[in-house]
Amino acid sequence: MIRDRGRIKWVSMMLPEHVKVLREWAEEDSYETKKELDEQQLEIMNEIIAEAMEYGRKVTIIHFRNRKYELLVGHIHSWDRLNGRLHVVDRFGAEHRIELQNIMDVQRAG
């Protein structure tokens, strides 16, 4: 039986610069594109955010950061109008600042 090690067997014959470029290329394949939201989605998200801020409810936020989507569950602490950011505190007490333009979806959390 032949044990094939895939790319590993070729790495020893490559220059470090080539290996670096190949790793960056493989990483770029995992990048996601940012979607555009329509007016109705923005209005629904605005209502959920306003309700969560008023009553201190937990929300689930999907936002776009570093070319990938990230999920965050927590309470909205405040809204920075000057910089256009939401300050969200997760269940571990860590504070996250999310730009409003990068928020893709907001849902009520249980």
Q: How does residue 100 score in pLDDT terms, banded at 50, 70 and 90?
A: very high
| C-alpha span between 86 and 108 (Å, rounded) | 16
Beta bridge partners of 90: 74
What burial class does residue 13 get, using C-beta atoms within 10 Å of its C-beta: 0-12 exposed, 13-18 middle, 19+ buried?
A: exposed
Rg (CA), the chain: 21
Token output for 83: 């910089």
Q: What's the whole-number mean pLDDT along residues 89-108?
A: 95
CATH for 39-108 is 2.30.30.520
- Tell me: the pLDDT tens digits for 56-98? 999 999 999 988 999 999 999 999 999 999 999 999 999 999 9
Identity of the amino acid at 14: M
- Tell me: the pLDDT tens digits for 4-62? 555 555 666 777 887 788 888 877 777 888 889 999 999 999 999 999 999 999 999 99
pTM score: 0.72
What burial class does residue 101 get, using C-beta atoms within 10 Å of its C-beta: 0-12 exposed, 13-18 middle, 19+ buried?
A: exposed
